[in-house]
Amino acid sequence: DTGVSQDPRHKITKRGQNVTFRCDPISEHNRLYWYRQTLGQGPEFLTYFQNEAQLEKSRLLSDRFSAERPKGSFSTLEIQRTEQGDSAMYLCASGTSGRDTQYFGPGTRLTVL
């Protein structure tokens, strides 16, 4: 049983560029979550998928952010026209319906210069 994986682990980009992150959940998990964590804070919820349907988005998720989970398996999170304030750790977690437990991947650390 492999855990949640994320790619890349680190991304450095210049302001204004677009970036895309990938998350592969635990194989039997139908729920997938994205969170963002800045230094000294706990993770903050961004969005949630059940299977391929995106069922909830946080107000934190501006129009520059988009997430997909096209076949109910892996998910991508894209940030367009990155800003320095987007610098953070982007965490993916997965879980199953009927259980609240979420397991986190290793995260993608984004640095916007």
Partner 1 sequence: QKEVEQNSGPLSVPEGAIASLNCTYSDRGSQSFFWYRQYSGKSPELIMSIYSNGDKEDGRFTAQLNKASQYVSLLIRDSQPSDSATYLCAVTSGGGAQKLVFGQGTRLTINP
Given the rule CB under 8 A, which residues bind partner 1?
A: 31, 33, 35, 40-45, 48, 50, 55-56, 89, 91, 93, 95, 100-107
Cβ-based burial of 66 (10 A; exposed 0-12, middle 13-18, buried ≥19): middle
- Between 19 and 23, whose beta carbon lies closer to partner 1? 23
Query: Residue 79 pairs with which residues in a beta bridge?
Result: 19, 65
Residue 53: phi and psi, rounded to 5, are: -90, 130
Element (H, E) at 92: strand 88-95
Shortest distance (Å) from residue 29 CB to partner 1: 13
- Between 68 and 80, whose beta carbon lies closer to partner 1? 68
Shortest distance (Å) from residue 93 CB to partner 1: 8
